[in-house]
C-alpha cells in the first residue's frame, strides 16, 4: 500500500506486545526489539510519541469481572501502563534514544506529569515521549488515551501495532476467508464494529482527522516499512482524504 509521509506519529502498542512469547509480564528481549523499531523510525526523521497498554500486567475490566471495584481496577491498570512506559524508556535510552515519560496521574518521583507544551518541546528536541496512565480517568481505555494524546500533540497519524497485518471483516485467526481492507472510513469501522480501537477512540480520530494505521508490530522491521509506504497495513481515514 502507498501511504502519505507522516512526520509526527503516535505509536499505540498493546501491553501484550511486551510479553513476547510469555503469558505475563515484560520480556526484555521483546522490549529491545520494539525499541529498535522505534529508533529506526526516529533515525528516518519521524517524530515519535508512544502509548503502551497495561494488559500484560493488569487489565481493569478483567479485575472488575473478578470482583474488584471498576474504578479501582482501572487505576490499577493505569499503574501497569506506567510500569511498561518505564521499561520502554529504560530500553530506548540504553540504545541512545533520549526519552521522557509523562503520566496522566501525577507521580513526580518517577516521571513527569503530562503537560502538552512540555511534551511538544521534548519532541522538538528530538526526544521520544511516552504517555502513560491513559487519560488519567477510569472507564477510558488506553486506546482513548492514545487518540487524545495524538490530537493534543497534533500528530499526523496514529499507528496501532497489533498481531495482525491490518483490519479484517472477521477475526483472521478464526475465519480463514476473512477479508483484509487496505483502507476504509471511520464510519464503516464504527457501523460494522470492526474492533480497530474502541468507539470513543475512533470517533475522536475521526473528529480530529487523524488517520489510524493498523499494522503488525510483531514482524521485525515492519514499522519502518509501513512508514515508507512499503509494508502491509490498513489505513482508516475520512473518505475524501488522500483520494
CATH number at residue 76: 3.40.1160.10
Q: What is the pLDDT of residue 242?
A: 46
pLDDT (tens digit per residue) in 74-100: 999 999 999 999 999 999 999 999 999
Mean pLDDT to the nearest integer, 29-58: 95
Name the one residue in this structure whose C-alpha cell is 503516535.
10
Residue 211, number of CB atoms within 10 A of its CB:
24
Mean pLDDT to the nearest integer, 217-240: 88
Domain that holds residue 91: 8-237
Model pTM score: 0.92
Q: What span, in angstroms and rounded, lies between the C-alpha atoms of 189 and 196?
A: 7
Residues facing residue 183 across a β-bridge:
235
Q: What is the pLDDT of residue 243?
A: 43
**Among 123-132, 143-152, 232-241, where is mean pLDDT lowest?**
232-241
From residue 199, alpha-carbon distances to 99, 129, 189 in Å are: 30, 25, 9
Mean pLDDT to the nearest integer, 102-112: 96
Mean pLDDT to the nearest integer, 34-55: 95
Is 202 within 8 Å of 190 (Cβ atoms)? yes
With a cut of 80, say whether residue 211 has pLDDT above it: yes
Query: Mapped to the 3 state alphabet, what secondary structure does 53-114 carry?
Result: CCCCCCCHHHHHHCCCCHHHHHHHHHHHHHHHHHHHHHHHHHCCCCEEEEECCCCCCCCEEC
With a cut of 90, say whether residue 229 has pLDDT above it: no
**Structural domain count, the chain:** 1
With a cut of 80, say whether residue 172 has pLDDT above it: yes
Asked, for residue 120, whether it belongs to a domain, the answer is: yes
Asked, for residue 3, whether it belongs to a domain, the answer is: no
Asked, for residue 183, whether it belongs to a domain, the answer is: yes
pLDDT band at 2 (very low <50, low <70, confident <90, very high): low
Asked, for residue 110, whether it belongs to a domain, the answer is: yes
| Radius of gyration for the alpha carbons in the chain, expressed in angstroms and rounded | 17
Asked, for residue 81, whether it belongs to a domain, the answer is: yes
Amino acid at each position: 500500500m502507498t501511504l502519505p509521509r507522516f512526520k509526527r506519529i503516535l505509536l499505540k502498542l498493546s501491553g501484550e506486545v511486551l510479553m513476547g512469547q510469555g503469558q505475563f509480564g515484560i520480556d526484555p528481549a521483546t522490549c529491545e526489539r520494539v525499541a529498535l523499531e522505534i529508533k529506526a523510525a526516529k533515525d528516518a526523521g519521524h517524530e515519535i510519541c508512544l502509548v503502551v497498554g497495561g494488559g500484560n500486567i493488569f487489565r481493569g475490566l478483567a479485575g472488575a469481572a473478578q470482583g474488584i471495584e471498576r474504578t479501582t481496577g482501572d487505576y490499577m491498570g493505569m499503574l501497569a501502563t506506567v510500569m511498561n512506559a518505564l521499561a520502554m524508556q529504560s530500553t530506548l535510552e540504553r540504545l541512545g534514544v533520549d526519552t521522557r515519560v509523562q503520566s496522566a496521574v501525577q507521580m513526580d518521583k518517577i516521571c513527569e506529569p503530562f503537560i502538552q507544551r512540555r511534551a511538544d518541546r521534548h519532541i522538538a528536541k528530538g526526544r521520544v515521549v511516552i504517555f502513560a496512565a491513559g487519560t488519567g480517568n477510569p472507564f477510558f481505555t488506553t486506546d482513548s488515551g492514545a487518540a487524545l494524546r495524538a490530537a493534543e500533540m497534533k500528530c499526523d497519524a496514529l499507528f496501532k501495532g497489533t498481531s495482525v497485518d491490518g483490519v479484517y471483516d472477521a477475526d483472521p485467526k478464526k475465519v480463514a476467508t476473512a477479508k483484509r481492507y487496505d483502507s476504509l472510513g471511520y464510519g464503516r469501522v464504527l457501523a460494522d464494529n470492526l474492533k480497530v480501537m474502541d468507539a470513543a477512540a475512533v470517533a475522536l480520530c475521526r473528529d480530529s482527522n487523524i488517520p489510524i494505521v493498523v499494522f503488525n508490530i510483531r514482524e521485525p522491521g515492519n514499522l519502518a516499512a509501513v512508514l515508507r509506504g512499503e509494508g502491509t497495513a490498513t489505513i482508516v481515514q475520512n473518505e475524501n482524504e488522500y483520494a
